[in-house]
Structure 1
């Protein structure tokens, strides 16, 4: 085998290995309960979800694109900057800020537009509606979860996120 062919073969093997070891990306797009309002960084559900994925042997990064007080209109406007070509799963937590800010009538349309954009990019959407927070430990404000509550939320999302990464 010529040196040129050996180099080409080595390059192909290295390229395949690099592609196989790239981390899949998960983006948590949402409001304060995605951001982790009231808890330390690393105690929010996206960080805990990443740790759980890694504990299962899944080398996936989870980007926290949560913003305190954000509305679904804000999430829709940030979609293109929050996800990129490596995003495979979008964990969407629309929150309740639309109603608090007088934009409740736009919520369903904005969520639909976000889901349509994700579908166009073949990104699996895992919804986190406010009802998922019932029964989980909350901070004294009654709205935001404790670190344990975020851990429990991440654990409940784990199977669906792993399923989205396997597709």
Structure 2
């Protein structure tokens, strides 16, 4: 299966983009702040433009589609989309503590692709992802962690590409976390499921991504 170039930073779209050089530590919005709803548990989707639904309306992003599935089953969970376009693992690590001010019951971590596309040392990507997981667990020891597996094109060479792919199952095993094997399974590289940039899923592509997530998330709920 072909792979698309995952996550373009700073592109225009209906969702706010972040330039690759932007420090996201001070970026916040009502949309990305967990909001506790009485009687409901909170699922936080923490990621980049894939999670943010870049180029689409907020209700067309895969976290919103997951909320629709939850509502259809009358489950008491509130989904929070904490995705920022252009986010790296370093940016995520810098803002994670801010997000922990409100209760988190399930934490879906979707970061790393931007690191891979920039050739950031894989040790740094691992350390940042582990730091994010540690912060979430330190605040909420009973939280359930879901890690979204990612892949990148072979531009950085076969060794880098292969090791990058293994970061996510390795961290899932080390942290007793749940793993989505590849978030963009059956979406990456399929033109009709991606926008004109060939990078970000279309509305239908986001539906498929939501299904990939739901296969792992539903048994947890």
TM-score for both structures, normalised by structure 1: 0.77
Cα 1:95–1:40 change in 2 (3 A) is farther
Cα 1:78–1:24 change in 2 (3 A) is same
Q: For residue 107 of structure 2, what is the aligned residue in structure 1?
A: 90
Cα 1:162–1:88 change in 2 (3 A) is farther
Within the alignment, does 1:71 sit opposite 2:88 as a pair? yes
Q: For residue 154 of structure 2, what is the aligned residue in structure 1?
A: none
1:124 to 134, 139, 144: 144
Measured in 2, the distance between the counterparts of 1:104 and 1:142 equals 26
SS in 1 for 2:205: helix
> What is the CA RMSD across the aligned residues, in angstroms?
1.9
Q: For residue 59 of structure 1, what is the aligned residue in structure 2?
A: 76
Cα 1:134–1:164 change in 2 (3 A) is closer
Q: For residue 66 of structure 2, what is the aligned residue in structure 1?
A: 49
C-alpha distance after superposition, 1:3-39 (max 9, x if no partner):
xxxxxxxxxxxxxxxxxx6111000101100100111
Q: Which has the higher contact order (CA 8 A, sep 6+)?
A: 1
Q: For residue 22 of structure 1, what is the aligned residue in structure 2?
A: 39
C-alpha distance after superposition, 1:59-114 (max 9, x if no partner):
21111110010101111111122234421111111141113345343111111111
Cα 1:156–1:142 change in 2 (3 A) is same
Measured in 2, the distance between the counterparts of 1:164 and 1:84 equals 23
Q: For residue 184 of structure 2, what is the aligned residue in structure 1?
A: 133
Cα 1:90–1:69 change in 2 (3 A) is same
User: Which structure features the higher share of helix residues?
Assistant: 1
